[in-house]
Chains A and B, each alone.
Chain A
Amino acid sequence: MFPKSLEFSISQPINDFVAFLIESYGETFRAISNFILSGLLQIEWVLRALPWWGTILIFMAVAYLCVRNYKLPLLVGGLLMLAGMLGLWDLTMQTLALMLMATLISCLVGIPTGVLVAKVRVMRNILIPMLDIMQTMPSFVYLIPAIMLFGLGKVPAVLATIIYGVPPLIRLTSLGIRQVDQEVVEAALAFGSSSRQILFGVELPLAVPTILAGLNQTIMMSLSMVVVSSMIGARGLGQQVLEGIQTLDVGKGLEAGVGIVILAVVLDRITQGLGQSQRRD
Protein backbone atom coordinates (compact mmCIF):
# COMPACT_ATOMS: atom_id res chain seq x y z
CA MET A 1 0.00 0.00 0.00
CA PHE A 2 1.21 3.47 -0.84
CA PRO A 3 1.44 5.56 2.35
CA LYS A 4 -1.65 7.73 2.79
CA SER A 5 0.43 10.57 4.20
CA LEU A 6 2.13 11.07 0.84
CA GLU A 7 -1.10 11.23 -1.13
CA PHE A 8 -2.44 14.49 -2.40
CA SER A 9 -5.23 15.49 -4.68
CA ILE A 10 -5.41 18.30 -7.19
CA SER A 11 -9.02 17.61 -8.09
CA GLN A 12 -10.64 20.08 -5.71
CA PRO A 13 -8.48 23.09 -6.66
CA ILE A 14 -9.03 22.30 -10.32
CA ASN A 15 -12.78 21.98 -9.86
CA ASP A 16 -12.82 25.26 -7.99
CA PHE A 17 -10.75 26.90 -10.67
CA VAL A 18 -13.07 25.73 -13.43
CA ALA A 19 -16.10 26.92 -11.46
CA PHE A 20 -14.38 30.26 -10.88
CA LEU A 21 -13.62 30.61 -14.59
CA ILE A 22 -17.20 29.87 -15.52
CA GLU A 23 -18.68 32.22 -12.96
CA SER A 24 -16.29 35.10 -13.64
CA TYR A 25 -15.40 34.81 -17.29
CA GLY A 26 -18.15 32.55 -18.61
CA GLU A 27 -19.53 35.25 -20.90
CA THR A 28 -16.09 36.07 -22.31
CA PHE A 29 -15.57 32.44 -23.21
CA ARG A 30 -19.02 32.33 -24.78
CA ALA A 31 -18.15 35.39 -26.86
CA ILE A 32 -15.00 33.65 -28.15
CA SER A 33 -17.11 30.60 -28.77
CA ASN A 34 -19.65 32.59 -30.78
CA PHE A 35 -16.87 34.11 -32.86
CA ILE A 36 -15.51 30.69 -33.82
CA LEU A 37 -19.05 29.49 -34.33
CA SER A 38 -19.89 32.26 -36.80
CA GLY A 39 -16.90 31.31 -38.97
CA LEU A 40 -17.90 27.68 -38.83
CA LEU A 41 -21.50 28.42 -39.67
CA GLN A 42 -20.41 30.38 -42.73
CA ILE A 43 -18.36 27.46 -44.02
CA GLU A 44 -21.24 25.14 -43.29
CA TRP A 45 -23.71 27.48 -44.97
CA VAL A 46 -21.66 27.55 -48.15
CA LEU A 47 -21.21 23.78 -48.20
CA ARG A 48 -24.87 23.13 -47.61
CA ALA A 49 -26.11 25.82 -49.98
CA LEU A 50 -24.04 24.57 -52.91
CA PRO A 51 -25.84 22.08 -55.13
CA TRP A 52 -24.46 18.59 -54.58
CA TRP A 53 -22.99 18.35 -58.05
CA GLY A 54 -21.33 21.72 -57.58
CA THR A 55 -19.56 20.49 -54.47
CA ILE A 56 -18.49 17.29 -56.21
CA LEU A 57 -17.17 19.26 -59.19
CA ILE A 58 -15.22 21.60 -56.91
CA PHE A 59 -13.66 18.63 -55.15
CA MET A 60 -12.77 16.99 -58.45
CA ALA A 61 -11.23 20.24 -59.70
CA VAL A 62 -9.16 20.64 -56.54
CA ALA A 63 -8.05 17.03 -56.83
CA TYR A 64 -7.05 17.63 -60.44
CA LEU A 65 -5.08 20.74 -59.58
CA CYS A 66 -3.22 18.81 -56.90
CA VAL A 67 -2.16 15.80 -58.92
CA ARG A 68 -2.65 16.71 -62.60
CA ASN A 69 -4.07 13.38 -63.57
CA TYR A 70 -7.58 12.03 -64.00
CA LYS A 71 -7.48 9.04 -61.69
CA LEU A 72 -7.78 10.91 -58.40
CA PRO A 73 -10.56 13.30 -59.52
CA LEU A 74 -12.59 10.30 -60.68
CA LEU A 75 -12.03 8.50 -57.38
CA VAL A 76 -12.98 11.61 -55.40
CA GLY A 77 -16.10 12.20 -57.50
CA GLY A 78 -17.15 8.57 -57.24
CA LEU A 79 -16.69 8.42 -53.47
CA LEU A 80 -18.63 11.62 -52.87
CA MET A 81 -21.41 10.31 -55.10
CA LEU A 82 -21.48 7.17 -52.99
CA ALA A 83 -21.80 9.25 -49.81
CA GLY A 84 -24.76 11.06 -51.37
CA MET A 85 -26.36 7.84 -52.51
CA LEU A 86 -26.09 6.39 -49.00
CA GLY A 87 -28.21 9.33 -47.87
CA LEU A 88 -25.32 10.89 -46.01
CA TRP A 89 -24.88 14.07 -48.06
CA ASP A 90 -26.06 16.62 -45.55
CA LEU A 91 -24.33 14.88 -42.64
CA THR A 92 -21.12 14.62 -44.64
CA MET A 93 -21.22 18.34 -45.42
CA GLN A 94 -21.75 19.18 -41.74
CA THR A 95 -18.82 17.01 -40.75
CA LEU A 96 -16.74 18.46 -43.56
CA ALA A 97 -17.48 22.01 -42.39
CA LEU A 98 -16.33 21.08 -38.91
CA MET A 99 -13.20 19.47 -40.29
CA LEU A 100 -12.37 22.45 -42.47
CA MET A 101 -12.78 24.86 -39.58
CA ALA A 102 -10.68 22.67 -37.30
CA THR A 103 -8.03 22.33 -40.00
CA LEU A 104 -7.99 26.06 -40.66
CA ILE A 105 -7.47 26.89 -37.00
CA SER A 106 -4.96 24.04 -36.70
CA CYS A 107 -2.90 25.66 -39.45
CA LEU A 108 -3.18 29.11 -37.91
CA VAL A 109 -2.01 27.76 -34.58
CA GLY A 110 0.13 24.81 -35.61
CA ILE A 111 2.45 26.30 -38.19
CA PRO A 112 3.59 29.32 -36.14
CA THR A 113 3.95 27.06 -33.12
CA GLY A 114 5.98 24.62 -35.18
CA VAL A 115 8.27 27.46 -36.26
CA LEU A 116 8.67 28.52 -32.66
CA VAL A 117 9.46 24.95 -31.63
CA ALA A 118 12.07 24.74 -34.36
CA LYS A 119 13.70 28.06 -33.51
CA VAL A 120 13.54 28.36 -29.75
CA ARG A 121 15.06 25.59 -27.71
CA VAL A 122 13.12 26.52 -24.56
CA MET A 123 9.85 26.28 -26.47
CA ARG A 124 10.89 22.89 -27.77
CA ASN A 125 11.55 21.66 -24.26
CA ILE A 126 8.20 22.92 -23.03
CA LEU A 127 5.99 22.17 -26.01
CA ILE A 128 7.09 18.70 -27.08
CA PRO A 129 5.97 17.06 -23.82
CA MET A 130 2.78 19.10 -24.02
CA LEU A 131 2.08 17.66 -27.46
CA ASP A 132 2.45 14.18 -26.00
CA ILE A 133 -0.04 15.07 -23.30
CA MET A 134 -2.47 16.45 -25.86
CA GLN A 135 -2.40 13.20 -27.78
CA THR A 136 -2.66 10.82 -24.85
CA MET A 137 -5.00 12.64 -22.44
CA PRO A 138 -8.45 11.05 -22.79
CA SER A 139 -10.47 13.68 -24.59
CA PHE A 140 -13.45 13.71 -22.26
CA VAL A 141 -11.17 14.93 -19.49
CA TYR A 142 -10.81 18.29 -21.18
CA LEU A 143 -14.07 18.15 -23.13
CA ILE A 144 -16.31 18.49 -20.10
CA PRO A 145 -14.66 21.73 -18.89
CA ALA A 146 -14.57 22.85 -22.52
CA ILE A 147 -18.32 22.37 -22.77
CA MET A 148 -18.83 24.33 -19.59
CA LEU A 149 -16.73 27.20 -20.93
CA PHE A 150 -17.61 27.18 -24.61
CA GLY A 151 -21.06 25.63 -24.63
CA LEU A 152 -22.30 22.45 -26.22
CA GLY A 153 -21.98 21.59 -29.84
CA LYS A 154 -19.69 22.59 -32.64
CA VAL A 155 -17.23 24.89 -30.89
CA PRO A 156 -15.95 22.51 -28.21
CA ALA A 157 -15.97 19.83 -30.91
CA VAL A 158 -13.70 22.00 -33.04
CA LEU A 159 -11.46 22.70 -30.05
CA ALA A 160 -11.22 19.04 -29.09
CA THR A 161 -10.47 18.15 -32.68
CA ILE A 162 -7.70 20.72 -32.77
CA ILE A 163 -6.18 19.60 -29.49
CA TYR A 164 -6.04 16.04 -30.71
CA GLY A 165 -5.17 16.82 -34.30
CA VAL A 166 -2.67 19.66 -34.20
CA PRO A 167 0.38 17.93 -32.66
CA PRO A 168 1.57 16.25 -35.89
CA LEU A 169 1.34 19.57 -37.71
CA ILE A 170 3.47 21.26 -35.06
CA ARG A 171 5.97 18.42 -34.98
CA LEU A 172 6.34 18.20 -38.75
CA THR A 173 6.50 21.96 -39.25
CA SER A 174 9.33 22.04 -36.75
CA LEU A 175 10.99 19.05 -38.38
CA GLY A 176 10.57 20.53 -41.85
CA ILE A 177 12.27 23.73 -40.79
CA ARG A 178 15.10 22.04 -38.95
CA GLN A 179 15.64 19.77 -41.93
CA VAL A 180 16.34 22.64 -44.29
CA ASP A 181 19.93 22.34 -45.54
CA GLN A 182 22.06 24.46 -43.19
CA GLU A 183 24.23 25.59 -46.07
CA VAL A 184 21.20 27.01 -47.85
CA VAL A 185 20.27 28.97 -44.73
CA GLU A 186 23.89 30.07 -44.41
CA ALA A 187 23.82 31.22 -48.02
CA ALA A 188 20.76 33.34 -47.36
CA LEU A 189 22.45 34.79 -44.28
CA ALA A 190 25.67 35.47 -46.15
CA PHE A 191 23.80 37.62 -48.63
CA GLY A 192 22.36 39.72 -45.83
CA SER A 193 18.87 38.24 -45.45
CA SER A 194 16.99 39.15 -42.33
CA SER A 195 15.59 36.34 -40.18
CA ARG A 196 12.15 37.18 -41.55
CA GLN A 197 13.40 36.86 -45.14
CA ILE A 198 15.04 33.55 -44.27
CA LEU A 199 11.92 32.19 -42.60
CA PHE A 200 9.45 33.18 -45.28
CA GLY A 201 11.74 33.06 -48.30
CA VAL A 202 13.80 29.99 -47.55
CA GLU A 203 12.83 27.86 -44.59
CA LEU A 204 9.05 27.78 -44.87
CA PRO A 205 8.98 27.21 -48.65
CA LEU A 206 11.49 24.40 -48.30
CA ALA A 207 9.55 22.89 -45.40
CA VAL A 208 6.27 22.89 -47.34
CA PRO A 209 6.30 19.19 -48.30
CA THR A 210 6.94 18.19 -44.69
CA ILE A 211 4.34 20.65 -43.42
CA LEU A 212 1.81 19.21 -45.87
CA ALA A 213 2.59 15.73 -44.59
CA GLY A 214 1.81 17.08 -41.12
CA LEU A 215 -1.39 18.64 -42.36
CA ASN A 216 -2.41 15.34 -43.86
CA GLN A 217 -1.86 13.60 -40.51
CA THR A 218 -3.73 16.36 -38.73
CA ILE A 219 -6.75 15.88 -40.96
CA MET A 220 -6.67 12.13 -40.51
CA MET A 221 -6.46 12.42 -36.73
CA SER A 222 -9.21 15.01 -36.75
CA LEU A 223 -11.48 12.60 -38.55
CA SER A 224 -10.98 10.10 -35.80
CA MET A 225 -12.48 12.69 -33.43
CA VAL A 226 -15.76 12.88 -35.35
CA VAL A 227 -17.55 10.41 -33.10
CA VAL A 228 -16.19 12.00 -29.93
CA SER A 229 -17.38 15.34 -31.28
CA SER A 230 -20.86 13.98 -31.64
CA MET A 231 -20.78 12.98 -27.97
CA ILE A 232 -20.72 16.66 -27.14
CA GLY A 233 -23.52 17.58 -29.47
CA ALA A 234 -21.84 18.29 -32.79
CA ARG A 235 -24.05 17.16 -35.63
CA GLY A 236 -22.88 15.23 -38.65
CA LEU A 237 -21.75 11.73 -39.47
CA GLY A 238 -20.53 11.10 -35.93
CA GLN A 239 -23.98 11.61 -34.50
CA GLN A 240 -25.36 8.92 -36.75
CA VAL A 241 -22.56 6.55 -35.74
CA LEU A 242 -23.35 7.27 -32.11
CA GLU A 243 -27.04 6.68 -32.69
CA GLY A 244 -26.22 3.40 -34.37
CA ILE A 245 -24.09 2.34 -31.42
CA GLN A 246 -26.53 3.45 -28.71
CA THR A 247 -29.52 1.74 -30.28
CA LEU A 248 -27.62 -1.34 -31.45
CA ASP A 249 -28.53 -0.40 -35.03
CA VAL A 250 -25.34 -1.83 -36.46
CA GLY A 251 -26.24 -1.12 -40.07
CA LYS A 252 -26.96 2.54 -39.47
CA GLY A 253 -23.72 2.99 -37.56
CA LEU A 254 -21.76 1.25 -40.28
CA GLU A 255 -23.33 3.39 -42.99
CA ALA A 256 -22.27 6.58 -41.26
CA GLY A 257 -18.89 4.96 -40.59
CA VAL A 258 -18.52 4.46 -44.34
CA GLY A 259 -19.28 8.16 -44.74
CA ILE A 260 -16.39 9.02 -42.42
CA VAL A 261 -14.09 6.69 -44.32
CA ILE A 262 -15.10 8.32 -47.60
CA LEU A 263 -14.32 11.74 -46.21
CA ALA A 264 -11.01 10.43 -44.90
CA VAL A 265 -9.97 8.91 -48.21
CA VAL A 266 -10.96 12.03 -50.16
CA LEU A 267 -9.12 14.44 -47.87
CA ASP A 268 -6.14 12.13 -47.48
CA ARG A 269 -5.58 11.63 -51.19
CA ILE A 270 -6.01 15.31 -51.96
CA THR A 271 -3.56 16.51 -49.32
CA GLN A 272 -1.11 13.74 -50.18
CA GLY A 273 -1.30 14.69 -53.83
CA LEU A 274 -0.68 18.31 -52.90
CA GLY A 275 2.33 17.29 -50.81
CA GLN A 276 3.84 15.24 -53.63
CA SER A 277 3.36 17.95 -56.22
CA GLN A 278 5.30 20.29 -53.93
CA ARG A 279 8.23 17.95 -53.49
CA ARG A 280 11.25 19.04 -55.46
CA ASP A 281 14.63 17.52 -54.95
Chain B
Amino acid sequence: MAAIELQNVYKIFGRRNKEALKMVQAGVSKADVLAKTGCVVALDDVNLSIGASQISVIMGLSGSGKSTLVRHINRLIEPTSGKILYNGEDIMQLTPSGLRKFRMHHSSMVFQSFGLFPHRTVLQNASYGHIVRGTKKAEAEAIGKKWIDAVGLKGYENKYPSELSGGMKQRVGLARALAADTDIILMDEAFSALDPLIRAEMQDQLIDLQRNLAKTIVFITHDLDEALRIGSKISILKDGQVVQTGLPDDILRNPANDYVARFVERRVHIPAQAGVSK
Protein backbone atom coordinates (compact mmCIF):
# COMPACT_ATOMS: atom_id res chain seq x y z
CA MET B 1 0.00 0.00 0.00
CA ALA B 2 1.31 3.43 -0.86
CA ALA B 3 1.62 5.56 2.22
CA ILE B 4 2.82 8.64 0.39
CA GLU B 5 2.11 9.62 -3.16
CA LEU B 6 3.51 12.54 -5.11
CA GLN B 7 1.49 13.41 -8.20
CA ASN B 8 2.79 15.77 -10.90
CA VAL B 9 4.88 17.71 -8.44
CA TYR B 10 6.76 20.71 -9.82
CA LYS B 11 9.01 22.95 -7.81
CA ILE B 12 10.42 26.06 -9.38
CA PHE B 13 12.54 28.53 -7.40
CA GLY B 14 12.37 32.16 -8.40
CA ARG B 15 10.17 35.18 -8.42
CA ARG B 16 8.48 34.41 -11.77
CA ASN B 17 7.81 30.76 -10.95
CA LYS B 18 4.20 30.74 -12.27
CA GLU B 19 5.37 31.85 -15.66
CA ALA B 20 8.24 29.39 -15.59
CA LEU B 21 5.87 26.57 -14.65
CA LYS B 22 3.84 27.14 -17.80
CA MET B 23 7.00 27.05 -19.87
CA VAL B 24 8.19 23.81 -18.28
CA GLN B 25 4.81 22.20 -18.74
CA ALA B 26 4.91 23.30 -22.39
CA GLY B 27 8.20 21.46 -22.76
CA VAL B 28 10.71 24.32 -22.72
CA SER B 29 14.11 23.14 -21.55
CA LYS B 30 15.41 24.01 -18.07
CA ALA B 31 18.28 26.04 -19.48
CA ASP B 32 15.89 28.15 -21.56
CA VAL B 33 13.58 28.64 -18.59
CA LEU B 34 16.49 29.86 -16.53
CA ALA B 35 17.67 32.17 -19.28
CA LYS B 36 14.22 33.65 -19.88
CA THR B 37 12.78 33.89 -16.36
CA GLY B 38 15.73 33.53 -14.02
CA CYS B 39 13.90 30.64 -12.36
CA VAL B 40 15.48 27.33 -11.42
CA VAL B 41 13.48 24.18 -12.06
CA ALA B 42 14.16 21.90 -9.09
CA LEU B 43 11.45 19.27 -9.58
CA ASP B 44 9.98 18.53 -12.93
CA ASP B 45 6.75 16.53 -12.94
CA VAL B 46 7.68 14.09 -10.19
CA ASN B 47 5.36 11.14 -9.70
CA LEU B 48 6.26 8.79 -6.92
CA SER B 49 4.59 6.19 -4.74
CA ILE B 50 6.22 5.40 -1.46
CA GLY B 51 5.21 2.17 0.15
CA ALA B 52 4.26 1.87 3.79
CA SER B 53 6.48 0.10 6.32
CA GLN B 54 9.54 -0.10 4.14
CA ILE B 55 12.65 1.87 3.35
CA SER B 56 12.32 3.74 0.09
CA VAL B 57 15.51 5.27 -1.15
CA ILE B 58 15.64 8.30 -3.38
CA MET B 59 19.03 8.49 -5.01
CA GLY B 60 20.64 11.18 -7.06
CA LEU B 61 23.73 13.30 -7.38
CA SER B 62 23.92 16.69 -5.76
CA GLY B 63 21.69 19.13 -7.55
CA SER B 64 19.32 16.43 -8.68
CA GLY B 65 16.61 17.82 -6.38
CA LYS B 66 16.46 14.95 -3.90
CA SER B 67 16.68 17.09 -0.75
CA THR B 68 14.06 19.41 -2.20
CA LEU B 69 11.88 16.42 -2.96
CA VAL B 70 11.98 14.95 0.54
CA ARG B 71 11.05 18.33 2.04
CA HIS B 72 7.84 18.29 0.05
CA ILE B 73 6.60 15.32 2.00
CA ASN B 74 6.36 17.34 5.26
CA ARG B 75 5.91 20.59 3.38
CA LEU B 76 9.06 22.24 4.64
CA ILE B 77 9.10 23.24 0.99
CA GLU B 78 5.85 23.94 -0.82
CA PRO B 79 5.44 22.65 -4.37
CA THR B 80 4.80 25.11 -7.16
CA SER B 81 2.19 22.72 -8.45
CA GLY B 82 1.08 19.15 -7.83
CA LYS B 83 -0.47 16.94 -5.20
CA ILE B 84 1.07 15.23 -2.20
CA LEU B 85 -1.06 12.50 -0.68
CA TYR B 86 -0.66 10.85 2.68
CA ASN B 87 -2.83 7.75 3.00
CA GLY B 88 -4.90 9.15 0.19
CA GLU B 89 -5.40 12.55 1.84
CA ASP B 90 -4.00 15.64 0.11
CA ILE B 91 -1.71 17.29 2.64
CA MET B 92 -1.64 20.42 0.50
CA GLN B 93 -5.13 21.10 1.82
CA LEU B 94 -4.03 21.15 5.47
CA THR B 95 -4.44 24.34 7.47
CA PRO B 96 -1.35 25.62 9.29
CA SER B 97 -2.45 23.93 12.51
CA GLY B 98 -3.43 20.79 10.61
CA LEU B 99 0.02 20.75 9.06
CA ARG B 100 1.63 21.11 12.48
CA LYS B 101 -0.41 18.16 13.73
CA PHE B 102 0.58 16.12 10.69
CA ARG B 103 4.25 16.84 11.38
CA MET B 104 3.88 16.04 15.09
CA HIS B 105 2.11 12.73 14.70
CA HIS B 106 2.94 11.39 11.27
CA SER B 107 6.31 12.50 10.06
CA SER B 108 9.66 13.11 11.65
CA MET B 109 13.01 13.84 10.08
CA VAL B 110 16.72 13.15 10.35
CA PHE B 111 19.14 15.68 8.85
CA GLN B 112 22.48 15.48 7.08
CA SER B 113 24.23 17.79 9.59
CA PHE B 114 22.09 16.39 12.38
CA GLY B 115 20.02 19.55 13.08
CA LEU B 116 20.36 19.01 16.80
CA PHE B 117 19.50 21.82 19.23
CA PRO B 118 22.92 22.85 20.54
CA HIS B 119 21.43 24.42 23.69
CA ARG B 120 19.56 21.28 24.72
CA THR B 121 20.95 18.08 26.22
CA VAL B 122 20.87 14.76 24.45
CA LEU B 123 17.79 13.82 26.46
CA GLN B 124 16.04 17.11 25.73
CA ASN B 125 16.82 16.70 22.05
CA ALA B 126 15.51 13.16 21.96
CA SER B 127 12.27 14.09 23.71
CA TYR B 128 11.70 17.22 21.60
CA GLY B 129 8.92 15.76 19.50
CA HIS B 130 6.86 15.05 22.58
CA ILE B 131 7.67 18.36 24.26
CA VAL B 132 6.37 20.16 21.19
CA ARG B 133 3.09 18.35 21.23
CA GLY B 134 2.64 19.11 24.93
CA THR B 135 3.35 15.75 26.51
CA LYS B 136 4.24 16.14 30.21
CA LYS B 137 7.96 16.62 30.72
CA ALA B 138 8.52 13.49 32.82
CA GLU B 139 6.64 11.33 30.35
CA ALA B 140 8.39 12.87 27.34
CA GLU B 141 11.79 12.34 28.92
CA ALA B 142 10.99 8.75 29.77
CA ILE B 143 10.24 8.13 26.09
CA GLY B 144 13.36 10.04 25.08
CA LYS B 145 15.46 7.98 27.45
CA LYS B 146 14.10 4.73 26.03
CA TRP B 147 15.19 5.69 22.53
CA ILE B 148 18.56 6.97 23.67
CA ASP B 149 19.13 3.52 25.10
CA ALA B 150 17.85 1.93 21.88
CA VAL B 151 20.43 3.78 19.74
CA GLY B 152 23.16 2.86 22.23
CA LEU B 153 23.77 6.22 23.89
CA LYS B 154 22.94 5.23 27.44
CA GLY B 155 24.85 7.43 29.89
CA TYR B 156 25.03 10.41 27.52
CA GLU B 157 21.61 11.82 28.42
CA ASN B 158 22.91 14.97 30.03
CA LYS B 159 25.64 15.76 27.55
CA TYR B 160 25.30 18.58 25.04
CA PRO B 161 25.59 17.83 21.31
CA SER B 162 28.92 19.68 21.14
CA GLU B 163 30.37 17.06 23.45
CA LEU B 164 29.56 14.18 21.08
CA SER B 165 31.25 12.72 18.01
CA GLY B 166 29.55 12.85 14.61
CA GLY B 167 28.25 9.31 14.80
CA MET B 168 26.87 9.87 18.27
CA LYS B 169 25.21 13.07 17.16
CA GLN B 170 23.41 11.28 14.39
CA ARG B 171 22.30 8.60 16.79
CA VAL B 172 20.70 11.40 18.79
CA GLY B 173 19.09 12.60 15.56
CA LEU B 174 17.78 9.13 14.95
CA ALA B 175 16.58 8.75 18.55
CA ARG B 176 14.78 12.07 18.25
CA ALA B 177 12.99 10.91 15.10
CA LEU B 178 12.11 7.52 16.55
CA ALA B 179 10.97 8.95 19.90
CA ALA B 180 8.50 11.17 18.10
CA ASP B 181 6.63 7.96 17.30
CA THR B 182 5.56 8.88 13.78
CA ASP B 183 4.79 6.44 11.01
CA ILE B 184 6.97 8.29 8.51
CA ILE B 185 10.64 9.10 9.00
CA LEU B 186 12.35 11.28 6.42
CA MET B 187 16.09 10.82 6.33
CA ASP B 188 17.94 13.44 4.30
CA GLU B 189 21.45 12.14 3.61
CA ALA B 190 21.37 11.07 7.22
CA PHE B 191 24.65 9.15 7.10
CA SER B 192 26.52 11.11 4.43
CA ALA B 193 28.50 13.22 6.90
CA LEU B 194 29.82 10.19 8.75
CA ASP B 195 33.03 8.34 8.01
CA PRO B 196 32.70 4.95 6.26
CA LEU B 197 32.99 2.66 9.29
CA ILE B 198 30.51 4.55 11.43
CA ARG B 199 28.31 4.83 8.41
CA ALA B 200 28.14 1.08 7.89
CA GLU B 201 27.41 0.66 11.58
CA MET B 202 24.56 3.14 11.39
CA GLN B 203 23.16 1.45 8.31
CA ASP B 204 23.11 -1.85 10.16
CA GLN B 205 21.45 -0.25 13.13
CA LEU B 206 18.80 1.30 10.92
CA ILE B 207 18.07 -2.06 9.26
CA ASP B 208 17.85 -3.70 12.70
CA LEU B 209 15.50 -1.11 14.05
CA GLN B 210 13.36 -1.19 10.93
CA ARG B 211 12.93 -4.95 11.26
CA ASN B 212 11.03 -4.39 14.53
CA LEU B 213 9.43 -1.04 13.86
CA ALA B 214 8.22 -1.24 10.28
CA LYS B 215 8.26 2.51 9.71
CA THR B 216 7.72 4.18 6.39
CA ILE B 217 11.19 5.53 5.80
CA VAL B 218 12.15 7.82 2.94
CA PHE B 219 15.92 7.73 2.71
CA ILE B 220 17.81 10.22 0.59
CA THR B 221 21.34 9.41 -0.51
CA HIS B 222 23.83 10.04 -3.27
CA ASP B 223 25.50 6.69 -2.66
CA LEU B 224 24.30 3.69 -4.67
CA ASP B 225 25.90 1.20 -2.29
CA GLU B 226 24.00 2.66 0.61
CA ALA B 227 20.84 2.64 -1.47
CA LEU B 228 21.29 -1.00 -2.41
CA ARG B 229 22.10 -1.97 1.11
CA ILE B 230 19.13 -0.51 2.92
CA GLY B 231 16.54 0.20 0.26
CA SER B 232 13.52 -1.98 -0.41
CA LYS B 233 12.80 0.18 -3.38
CA ILE B 234 15.01 2.72 -5.10
CA SER B 235 14.10 5.75 -7.15
CA ILE B 236 16.75 7.55 -9.16
CA LEU B 237 16.43 11.28 -9.58
CA LYS B 238 18.18 13.32 -12.24
CA ASP B 239 17.71 17.01 -12.87
CA GLY B 240 14.47 17.00 -10.94
CA GLN B 241 12.98 14.06 -12.79
CA VAL B 242 12.53 10.48 -11.62
CA VAL B 243 14.39 8.42 -14.22
CA GLN B 244 13.80 4.99 -12.75
CA THR B 245 12.00 3.40 -9.80
CA GLY B 246 12.41 -0.23 -8.94
CA LEU B 247 13.70 -2.95 -6.67
CA PRO B 248 17.46 -2.92 -6.14
CA ASP B 249 17.84 -5.89 -8.43
CA ASP B 250 15.88 -4.23 -11.22
CA ILE B 251 18.09 -1.20 -11.05
CA LEU B 252 21.23 -3.30 -11.25
CA ARG B 253 20.04 -5.58 -14.01
CA ASN B 254 17.89 -3.34 -16.12
CA PRO B 255 19.07 0.25 -15.89
CA ALA B 256 16.39 2.37 -17.53
CA ASN B 257 18.84 4.60 -19.36
CA ASP B 258 22.48 5.49 -19.81
CA TYR B 259 22.54 7.67 -16.75
CA VAL B 260 21.46 4.85 -14.44
CA ALA B 261 23.70 2.46 -16.30
CA ARG B 262 26.73 4.62 -15.62
CA PHE B 263 25.84 4.66 -11.95
CA VAL B 264 25.55 0.94 -11.85
CA GLU B 265 28.73 0.39 -13.81
CA ARG B 266 30.75 2.45 -11.45
CA ARG B 267 29.38 0.46 -8.57
CA VAL B 268 30.26 -2.79 -10.32
CA HIS B 269 33.83 -1.81 -11.21
CA ILE B 270 35.12 0.24 -8.38
CA PRO B 271 34.49 -2.21 -5.54
CA ALA B 272 36.06 -4.93 -7.65
CA GLN B 273 39.29 -2.93 -7.74
CA ALA B 274 39.32 -1.44 -4.29
CA GLY B 275 37.52 -4.13 -2.41
CA VAL B 276 35.95 -1.69 0.00
CA SER B 277 32.40 -0.51 -0.16
CA LYS B 278 32.47 3.19 -0.46
Seen from chain A, the residues whose Cβ lies within 8 Å of a Cβ on chain B are: 181, 183-184, 186-194, 197, 202, 205-206, 280-281
Contacts and interface: CB of A to CB of B under 8 A. Distances in A.
A159 B108 CA distance: 48
Interface in B68-126: 74, 76, 100-105, 107-109, 111-119
A192 B103 CA distance: 5
A281 B128 contact: no
B118 A206 contact: yes
Interface in B140-176: 160, 162, 176
Contact of A281 (B74, B105, B108, B118): B118
B262 interface: no
A212 to B, nearest CB: 14
B118 A190 contact: no
7 contacts: A183-B114, A187-B109, A187-B111, A191-B108, A192-B103, A192-B105, A193-B132
Interface string B178-193: 0010000010000000
Contacts of B160: 280
Q: Which of B119, B133, B160 has the most CB of A within 10 A?
A: B119
B65 interface: no
B76 A190 contact: yes
B129 interface: yes
Contact of B119 (A183, A193, A197, A205): A205
B270 to A, nearest CB: 31
A190 B109 contact: yes
Contacts of A190: 74, 76, 103, 107-109, 186
Nearest to A183: B115
Given A184-B117, A281-B118, A281-B162, A189 B111 contact: no
A192 B99 CA distance: 8
A184 B118 contact: yes
Nearest to B115: A187
A205 B101 CA distance: 24
Top 10 A-B pairs, shortest CB-CB distance? A187-B115, A192-B104, A192-B103, A190-B109, A183-B115, A192-B100, A191-B129, A205-B119, A193-B132, A183-B111
A206 B129 CA distance: 19
A186 B117 contact: no
A206 B162 CA distance: 13
B183 to A, nearest CB: 14
Given A187-B115, A187-B117, A206-B119, 5 more contacts: A187-B109, A191-B128, A192-B102, A192-B133, A280-B162
A147 B174 CA distance: 60
Contacts of B74: 190
Contacts of B119: 205-206, 280
Contacts of B101: 192
Q: Which of B74, B103, B118 has the most CB of A within 10 A?
A: B118
Nearest to A191: B129
Nearest to A206: B119
Contacts of B111: 183, 186-187
A202 B74 CA distance: 20
A112 B129 CA distance: 27
Nearest to A194: B100
Interface in B33-86: 74, 76
Nearest to B180: A191
Contacts of A193: 100, 132
A191 B118 contact: no
Contacts of A189: 76, 103
Contact of B116 (A187, A280, A281): A187
Contacts of A183: 111-115
B115 A184 contact: yes
B111 to A, nearest CB: 5
A194 B101 CA distance: 10
A39 to B, nearest CB: 32
Contacts of B129: 191-192
Contacts of A192: 100-105, 129, 132-133
A189 B186 CA distance: 13
A188 B117 contact: yes
Contacts of A281: 118, 162
B76 A186 contact: yes
Contacts of B112: 183
A273 B151 CA distance: 37
A228 B108 CA distance: 56
Contacts of A188: 117, 128, 132
